[in-house]
Amino acid sequence: DQQVKQNSPSLSVQEGRISILNCDYTNSMFDYFLWYKKYPAEGPTFLISISSIKDKNEDGRFTVFLNKSAKHLSLHIVPSQPGDSAVYFCAARGGGGATNKLIFGTGTLLAVQP
């Protein structure tokens, strides 16, 4: 049962344009969402997070939007840079109980073309 889904395996964007990565979830008990960026053979790097009580969080070029009614979140990167090329994972925490367990989506490979 895939509770966190990233339906786009890959995304290609031109440098300077906006990248939008999407994530859907099924468990309404999730209380915290995070985005990580990952290069091959390395650990995920934390990018940005959002609590379920908010609908937007911004940090520099990265903005995360949360639509609880649709159980959907998205990561916007503006402007996109070639160094942003990596796999992006969304993750959700919660689902009942005091736990820091993260459930990850399957990832989206972002390629930013110069």
Partner 1 sequence: KAGVTQTPRYLIKTRGQQVTLSCSPISGHRSVSWYQQTPGQGLQFLFEYFSETQRNKGNFPGRFSGRQFSNSRSEMNVSTLELGDSALYLCASSLNSLDTQYFGPGTRLTVL
Residues near partner 1, by CB under 8 A: 32, 34, 36, 41-46, 49, 89, 91, 93, 97-107
Nearer to partner 1, 22 or 79 (CB): 22
Q: Tokens 């994972």 label which residue?
A: 89
Tell me the closest approach of the beta carbon of residue 98 to partner 1, in angstroms: 7
Sign, CA dihedral 101-102-106-109, equals negative
d(CA 61, CA 5): 23
d(CA 24, CA 54): 16
- Nearer to partner 1 by Cβ, of 36 and 80: the residue is 36
CA dihedral 22, 28, 30, 34 (to 10 degrees): 10
Considering the complex, what minimum distance in angstroms separates the CB of residue 28 from partner 1?
Answer: 18
Shorter beta-carbon distance to partner 1: residue 13 or 91:
91
* Residue 110: CB minimum distance to partner 1, A: 17
